[in-house]
A and B are shown apart, each in its own frame.
Chain A
């Protein structure tokens, strides 16, 4: 009886999480341009529309480029910091770890407004590059947390052995440390990439009037009524997230990764 009840509970939980997505998936295959569920007819043309319509396509390209670059910058900021904190004994340097975690922990509107003020004051407001830097700072927490976890999992005697054999810091890093933390580096990048792809408010406040990312485009479209392309983009994004996280789970230890990811909380 116990397992049956548990199954029911899990099923209801899953239903709640998937219900809106099921309806959106149904809406996305409507043949005509109307909001109807169950779908009337079947057509995949609204998926083609994402790539065929120049407006949606440029929003998609803008989002993917922004996510790819900002996640890379976030990793480039997080890697040396995490390495330094692991390699050196300097308590005061922990302040930078705190600074790296703060933007993601505070309500996003605060980071967004801070960056808007900053870009407006320095005169760069509206330039695409500012969105990359803004997202990198906003999401630096994710690679920082996964990398710190990766470093803490390294057996220090391994590194010591390499050093005893005469390898300097640089060689040790390249030949021993980097291969060991690579899975954590990749998952940190993946987390930052997917979240940047979906981020709205920081992007809106920094480049909302000069560049349209997909979330901004969907919101603008929502104001002027409905188009089925919104539904197909939604399903595309869910699919991207599911694929990326499945890959992370396939090549890394997801339960372990999440077990420690929340200890910061």
Chain B
């Protein structure tokens, strides 16, 4: 059956429900949020309609500048760690037997689907004094006594890398499966070591994929909300934490909305950059 343009009005029937749902429950809430970001806060209720830029102007304080800087820096660190760890792994995985691939994909999906709460709890246990990894080091005689490793920046970073690593592998996987195996074979025939072939042939061939993946993981990490709260100190809190805090505990919806809109703009800018990088890659 060839694709045909819709002819009768009834041909549009199947579209009605999905389009309606997406418009009512995604487009409308999203637009409402943008509108609220220009509203004035009303201490008695939620907010009152207005058109002010106060909520955006509040960003310009040193405090929010610091939070934003920290959130972006943390997300960059997570993205870089994940891609460095995942790229060689995914490369090898894509060349493994089918059964090995399926096993790892199931394991990665299982970890990926885990709630942030669960990941936070698991790592806080691993970093705790009574049940943590330092007990193992004491048993091995490498340490004098067990210590707690959280809250700390290292704990937040480790758990966020743990959360984003399966995602990174799954984003890289399709590109690496499709990578032409004769590329490395040629390099090997010409006398390059496997490591050299990987860095001089595979990595440059995947330059655009790597850039796109870095951006995808960056966005993913930007959304992290619970891990900084469970494993970090208040100075490790991210923009997502602050948005929720303003919305729920300070009941300052206009300010929370303004921060969210700002976060969307950052994200969309980065997505546009990814698409641009991808287009450029195709053209080359």
Contact = CB atoms under 8 A, between A and B. Distances in A.
A23 interface: yes
A24 B132 CA distance: 10
A172 B260 CA distance: 45
B219 interface: yes
Contacts of A89: 3-5
A80 B115 contact: no
B160 interface: no
A239 to B, nearest CB: 9
Contacts of B3: 86-89
A149 to B, nearest CB: 12
A102 B226 CA distance: 22
A194 B111 CA distance: 11
Q: What size tier do the contact residues of chain A reach? A: 35 or more
A107 B223 contact: yes
A14 B162 CA distance: 11
B212 A35 contact: no
Contacts of A16: 162, 165
A17 B107 contact: yes
B114 A222 contact: no
A9 B101 CA distance: 15
A76 B32 contact: no
Interface in B79-124: 85, 88-89, 92, 98, 101-102, 105-111, 113-124
B119 A115 contact: no
Chain B interface, >50% SS class: helix
A231 B6 contact: no
Contacts of B240: 107, 109, 201
A108 interface: yes
Contact of B110 (A36, A136, A160, A238): A238
A242 to B, nearest CB: 5
A242 B110 contact: yes
Nearest to A110: B260
Interface in A68-114: 76-78, 80-81, 83-84, 86-90, 93, 96, 99-100, 102-103, 105-114
A205 B21 contact: no
A113 B122 contact: no
Contact of B223 (A36, A109, A134): A109
Given A17-B166, A96-B18, A2 B194 contact: yes
A105 B26 CA distance: 13
Contacts of B226: 200-201, 219
A105 B25 contact: no
Given A78-B18, A156-B1, A262-B171, A114 B32 contact: yes
A81 B17 CA distance: 8
A88 B4 contact: yes
A90 B4 CA distance: 8
Nearest to A14: B107
B75 to A, nearest CB: 10
B264 A255 contact: no
Given A107-B223, A113-B247, A115-B25, A20 B257 contact: no
Interface string B111-155: 101111111111111101011110100000000000000000000
Contacts of A110: 33, 260, 263-264, 267
A246 interface: yes
Contacts of B19: 81, 96
B282 interface: no
B27 A194 contact: no
Interface string A6-41: 100110011011011101101100000011111000
Nearest to A86: B3
A255 B177 contact: yes
Contact of A222 (B165, B230, B253, B267): B230
Contacts of A111: 26
Interface of B: 1-6, 11, 14-15, 17-19, 21-23, 25-30, 32-33, 36, 46, 85, 88-89, 92, 98, 101-102, 105-111, 113-126, 128, 130-133, 135, 162, 165-166, 170-171, 173-174, 177-178, 194, 212, 216, 219, 222-223, 225-226, 230, 240, 243-244, 247-248, 253, 256-257, 260, 263-264, 267, 271
- Interchain residue pairs A-B with the least CB separation, the first 6: A107-B223, A118-B29, A20-B122, A37-B131, A198-B115, A81-B18
25 contacts: A17-B165, A19-B133, A20-B123, A24-B125, A35-B128, A36-B130, A77-B18, A81-B14, A84-B14, A99-B26, A106-B267, A107-B222, A114-B33, A118-B25, A159-B1, A198-B113, A201-B244, A218-B115, A222-B120, A222-B230, A238-B118, A245-B110, A245-B113, A246-B106, A261-B170
Given A87-B3, A106-B264, A258-B170, 18 more contacts: A17-B107, A17-B166, A23-B126, A37-B130, A88-B6, A90-B6, A93-B15, A96-B19, A113-B33, A137-B21, A137-B22, A215-B116, A218-B117, A222-B117, A231-B125, A245-B110, A255-B105, A255-B177
